[in-house]
């Protein structure tokens, strides 16, 4: 499994005919008509107009602004079992934290840079964009070239759907390759926040309010309203992420790097939840799971996925496709767990890796046992309260998405239809 540092990830695919970014740029970005929704204001309240435009492949049509960040990858190659002392009922958080040190984590070789920019020519002139810059084959090796080509191919395919583009995916505006071999992908700038940014903001606020004693000074009605706003915001965030994933699955594409860093938000204000539009990004590891593309290729970014499928007993094309889709649902379940815990807890009380190990290693995906453990920690009380809504509807859905048997996990649309995800529990 691979994780993006500043963007979460796993494994993915690229057919032998799409390993080259240059070839993909020629094939996937040959002009075709798609519908862009142009946003000239970052205000989440303004409804933007739509019009026809083509993907931009000329670097002269862009203006590059300041650098805004970079990220790389972590390869999580194994999870060590917990010490036998923790196998009973007497769990301590200190012991749990110590167990994290046994995890085998390595740093990936591909480093990606991010820049602000805008379109400087044509019908999209003035449109703000975010450039995602891959180092290219010369500096980053064949893996970097494969990742850039795969992300370009995935977006161009999904945006060419004759039925229209779902609003819960980031929009590719164009792409080009520089003379030094760097590969630049330009995405419309619909917000610079991620779900991880929101979770950190929310948990820091919980810590700040506790430290200042502000929570004890609130009246009960104010506290309830604040918690309710947070619950509504998180559910709407998860709804958007799952709509994006359902659209991808309906079009035979996996995400394979779904996590809190790979969900982009246009606002992190809980009072603006009605205007929130979550969008999935980071499709460098996306996999084509149409039956004609399920041939295994040792050079493919999806090699790890197919090895996991075989290990899980998926041998036929139909079984492998079912496993691959269920693998995305499992990642979505981990995202669900992250958003159910981190924003509701004090900073440092829980993080993504600690939560994943708690679920997978300590309690072997037994969510009932996980709930009993979390109930004993006051720092996790609001997260338990959130998942308890609707007589435990959150735990019920989380258990289904993280089912150890991939055949029993729900599809994305079924997750969206669950009473917890529809917001009926509120």
In the numeric block, which tokens belong to residue 260? 């809190």
Q: How confident is the model at residue 93 (pLDDT cuts 50, 70, 90)?
A: very low
Mean pLDDT of 310-336: 96
Whether the per-residue pLDDT at 29 is higher than 90: the answer is no
Mean pLDDT of 271-293: 94
Which domains are seen in the chain, by residue range?
21-33+52-80+101-188 (3.30.200.20), 193-417 (1.10.510.10)
Mean pLDDT of 283-297: 85
Whether the per-residue pLDDT at 386 is higher than 70: the answer is yes
pLDDT digits (tens, 9 = 90+) for 326-341: 999 999 999 999 999 9
Averaged confidence pLDDT in the chain: 82
Q: Which of 76, 12, 35, 56 is nearest to 293 (CA)?
A: 12
Structure letter (DSSP) for residue 405: S
Share of the chain above pLDDT 70, in %: 76
User: Within its chain, how far is the Cα of 68 from the centroid?
Assistant: 20
Whether the per-residue pLDDT at 291 is higher than 60: the answer is yes
Task: Check residues 79 and 374 and name the one with the higher pLDDT.
Answer: 374
CA 252/CA 307 separation, integer angstroms: 19
In the numeric block, which tokens belong to residue 170? 């980031």
Mean pLDDT of 303-325: 94
Give the helix, strand, coil percentages of the chain, each rounded to 5.
Answer: 50, 20, 35
Using CA atoms, how far residue 258 sits from 191, 195, 234, 241, 384, in Å, is 18, 11, 16, 9, 23
CA 152/CA 155 separation, integer angstroms: 5
pLDDT, residue 299, reads 58
Task: Check residues 149 and 22 and name the one with the higher pLDDT.
Answer: 149
pLDDT digits (tens, 9 = 90+) for 176-216: 999 889 999 999 999 989 999 999 999 999 998 888 776 55
| Distant-in-sequence, close-in-space partners of 363: CB < 8 Å, separation ≥ 6 | 369, 370, 373
DSSP 183-228: EEEEEE-S-SEEHHHHHHHHHHHHHHHHHHTHHHHS-HHHHHHHHH
pTM: 0.83
pLDDT, residue 5, reads 53
Q: Which of 178, 47, 186 is nearest to 128 (CA)?
A: 186
Among 106-115, 126-135, 363-372, name the one with the lowest average pLDDT: 106-115
CA 36/CA 33 separation, integer angstroms: 9
pLDDT, residue 50, reads 41
Mean pLDDT of 360-384: 96
Q: Which of 153, 166, 319 is nearest to 250 (CA)?
A: 166
Total residue count of the chain as it appears in this document: 426
CA 215/CA 10 separation, integer angstroms: 39
Among 38-52, 82-96, 263-277, name the one with the lowest average pLDDT: 82-96
Q: Are 195 and 141 in contact (CB under 8 A)?
A: no
pLDDT digits (tens, 9 = 90+) for 387-409: 999 999 999 999 999 999 999 99
Whether the per-residue pLDDT at 76 is higher than 70: the answer is no
Share of the chain above pLDDT 90, in %: 63
Rg (alpha carbons) of the chain, rounded to whole number? 22
Q: How confident is the model at residue 296 (pLDDT cuts 50, 70, 90)?
A: low
């Amino acid at each position: 499994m691979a994780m993006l540092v500043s963007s979460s990830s796993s494994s993915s695919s690229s057919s032998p005919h799409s390993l080259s970014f240059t070839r993909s740029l020629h094939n996937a970005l040959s002009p075709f008509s798609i519908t862009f929704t142009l946003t000239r204001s970052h205000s989440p309240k303004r409804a933007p107009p739509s019009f026809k435009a083509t993907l931009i492949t000329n670097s002269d049509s862009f203006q590059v602004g300041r650098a805004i960040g970079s990220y790389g990858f972590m390869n999580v190659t194994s999870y060590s079992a917990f010490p036998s002392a923790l196998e009973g009922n007497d769990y301590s958080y200190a012991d749990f934290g110590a167990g994290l040190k046994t995890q085998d984590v390595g740093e990936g070789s591909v480093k990606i840079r991010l820049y602000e920019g805008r379109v400087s020519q044509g019908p999209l002139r003035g449109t703000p964009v975010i450039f995602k810059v891959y180092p290219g084959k010369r500096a980053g090796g064949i893996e970097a070239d494969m990742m850039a080509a795969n992300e370009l191919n995935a977006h161009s395919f999904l945006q060419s759907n004759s039925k229209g583009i779902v609003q819960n995916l980031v929009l590719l505006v164009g792409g080009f390759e520089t003379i030094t071999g760097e590969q630049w992908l330009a995405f419309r700038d619909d917000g610079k926040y991620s779900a991880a940014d929101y979770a950190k903001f929310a948990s820091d606020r919980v810590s700040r309010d506790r430290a200042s004693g502000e929570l004890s000074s609130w009246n009960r009605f104010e506290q309830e309203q604040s918690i309710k706003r947070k619950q509504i915001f998180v559910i709407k965030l998860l709804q958007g992420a799952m709509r994006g994933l359902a659209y991808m699955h309906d079009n035979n594409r996996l995400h394979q790097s779904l996590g809190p860093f790979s969900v982009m938000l246009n606002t992190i204000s809980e009072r603006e939840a009605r205007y929130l539009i979550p969008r999935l990004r980071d499709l460098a590891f996306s996999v084509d799971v149409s039956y004609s593309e399920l041939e295994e290729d040792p050079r493919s970014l999806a090699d790890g996925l197919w090895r996991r499928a075989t290990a899980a007993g998926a041998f036929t094309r139909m079984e492998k496709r079912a496993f691959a889709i269920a693998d995305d649902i499992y990642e979505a379940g981990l995202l669900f767990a992250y958003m159910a815990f981190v924003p509701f807890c004090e900073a440092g009380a829980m993080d993504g890796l600690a939560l994943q190990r708690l679920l997978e290693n300590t309690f072997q995906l037994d969510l009932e046992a996980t709930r009993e453990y979390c109930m004993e920690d006051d720092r996790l009380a609001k997260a338990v309260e959130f998942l308890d809504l609707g007589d435990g509807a959150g735990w019920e859905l989380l258990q289904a998405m993280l089912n150890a048997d991939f055949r029993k996990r729900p599809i994305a649309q079924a997750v969206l239809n669950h009473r917890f995800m529809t917001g009926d529990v509120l």
